[in-house]
Each structure stands twice: as structure tokens, then as C-alpha cells.
Structure 1
């Protein structure tokens, strides 16, 4: 098993891709602390029981103190942290850029970009002290191939890609690998609740002719968290069904 006895905190894992990542990590032998919003606690607890995770904690990534506490809880319950997965995020409605309110812009940026930064900020001192660690962030294929009507979301995810690369270059020589996954269209609760016009438009662009499963996306996280990715530094890999940027 590729993650045997590795310890991991997964932030944003009650549903969708994050849940599939937690399940995949458990199958690979990882010891897990799971974190998500307080409102997701029932789903989180069911996942804890399903995969026999060692701990669960509330975490609102828009609140730095909440992220700091989640990291501290994971270290306390697991003894140390080998892996952090930053997967919490939000989408936005299809809206022309000039009509989007700044409040919505800030909500997307604070959750996706700043929330990811909080996770890295508070786990890095621990990993630097240990001289090892893996951080896997969640961006989006839209970071590489932006779409119309989603300026805030695309900008937030492109920021994660750039931040991942910058931090990775800073800490690589000290034994820490930072990379990110950029999922293409995926069968998640968020996808199912998205505007059908957007979904149809995206599927029509995919050479593979379908959206991906959460399990297919989770495989990329397992790879980046494992020793198989020992030469990966600051990379963004995109399981996307052929939805490449030209």
C-alpha cells in the first residue's frame, strides 16, 4: 500500500472529490484526520465510520483560527502530519464579470485561495521541523483553461496553481513536496447543482465524451501524496478527459 502508516489531514472531505480522496487514502493504508464545515458533521462522521479514520474535526477555511485548530488537532491525534490535502472550496454562479458583486468575489477568493494559504501556512512549520511532508492542493482545470462567466472562480484557482509553485520552490530542498491537482469536469454534488447550460457546454468540449468520477480524480491525490511522486515539485496535474488548454 502506497500510503501505509502515513498520517494525513484532509480538509474538505465530507462529499465529492474530498470524500473519494479520503476513501482512497484509507485503502492505501493512511491514518487520517478528516475536516470539514460544522454543517457537514453528519456526513463527516459517517465517513469516519466507513473508513475507520482516527479523528474528525470542524474546519471553516475562511477562518484562520479554525484552520490553525484543525491542523493542531490532527497533529495531536495522529502524533505528526506527513500529508496535508487542501480540498475545501466553493464555486459561483454563471455571471458576467462586470455584474458580479464584490461580496461574491471576496467569498470565492477567501474560501479557495486564502483558505488554501491558511492550510499551508499552519502545517509548514511542523513539516519544516520534521524535514519532510507532502502538501496537495486543489485547483481546477479552469486555472489553465479559463471559461467565460466564471472570472472569480478561475482567478482563485489560478492563484492556487501559482502559490503552489512558489511555495514548492521555497521548501523543496527541506524535504517538503507541494503540488496540486486541477480536476476537470467531475461528477460531484457541486456539478449536479450547477447550471445545466454550463454542464452541457463543458461535456461537449471533452474528447472522452463524459465527465470524470471522483474516484478517477482521487487517484491523482494518492500519486502526489506517495513516494511515486518523489520528483514532483510545484506541479499541477490535471485529470480532465482531454479538456486541455491550447
Structure 2
């Protein structure tokens, strides 16, 4: 029976076992798929899969996407695996996004950016077996075309439907409590400068059905900025004060509920 010598200490007897490890060593496998040794091993094990890999190589995907697709050609019956990540279920993806919040992991974002999550769900038949979950994911995919950062955090709540918000490792269940921690001298300027672009907070408000606050906020800010006469030499402090006022608006809106 044919074997493939991956490293001095690692040998594979089957393409199924090899496929399970591709996500662990993306750099090494990216190079390995260019070698005659690996391609001959695949050919000897399964001619049809070998031909599919050849077609895949001609499509010029980025290395990580190529490896993802190649691994599921070789072994379609695996948990979702991508660039050092292995997820036992969809909920775990959502929890991982929340765990990193407010940071965005570019590799998890690839699941949306390159359509890998939807591709995996369809391959597993989950578009039929889990239609409600699939519909939520499709909605996020559509949103990604309009606002990729917002959609990234929306995916967390689509996959893991617990309503908690995690920010820098701290869990929150009440937006008012969260904003109280931001409206302090220590945290105010840094959070005010980034919260609009980050979108983690906005995604949480949508998930807990407080999206109307976002709409009122955006309408108010748009109106103010249209009428506001900006100074040419608007300094840093003035910009920070504007952002702080935006946060204060959010807090007042939540206090009134």
C-alpha cells in the first residue's frame, strides 16, 4: 500500500488521515501540494480525487482557501477545519468570535469572505437539515456585502444564539452596564474613537432587538453633521469630544428604555 512521507516523523497511509491534518500545517501543505510526491500519493489512492485536485490547482485560489477545498475533496466527512482552527459545531465558531471581540480574526472572517462556511454547510447537507440556521447564515452573507465588520460580529449571534456580549474578555448582558464601563476617563477616548468602525457593539444591539437605537443614532448624527460648520483646523480633542457625545447619546437612549 502506498504511503506519503510528510516529515521525518510523520507518514500517511491514507488521504483521509492526511486531510484531517491539513489545517494544522497550512504552510507545509501549501508547498506539499506542489510536489510530485504528494500528487502521486493522491493519484494512487483515488484517481477521481486526484483529478479534482488538479482542477482546483488551476483556479489560483489563495493558499488557505485552496487547502480548505482540497482537504474536503480528500475527506468530506470532517468537522469544519481552517488554518489552525477546528470547530466541532457551528456554535463553537460563534463563541470563538465573541471570545476575540472586539478584535476580528482574519481567518474566521475568511469563512464569510470566501464563502467557505456556506460551502461547508451545503456539502454537509445542513442547508436542508438545519434550514433555520442556514437562513440566518445566508442573511449574514448578504450583510457582508454591505458591511463586512458588522456581518462578522452578526455571525457570532447567528451561530451562537446566547445574547451575552463579550468585550476584551468581560461578559455583559445589559448595554447600559457596558456603556457605563466605557464612559470613564480611563476608557472613554479609546472606545469613542473606534466603536463606530468596529461594529461589535452594533451587532449586539441588533441581536437583542435594540436595533431601533442604532437607526435613531445614525439619523441624529447625520443631521448634526450636515448642519455643523467644521473648522479647517479641527483639532484632536474636538474630534474626541464629538465621539464622546455620540456615546453619551447611546447611553441616554438606553436609560430612557
Does the pair score TM above 0.5?
no
Greater percentage in strand: 1
TM range (shorter): under 0.3
Q: TM-score, normalised by structure 1?
A: 0.26
Higher helix share: 2
TM-score by length of 2: 0.25
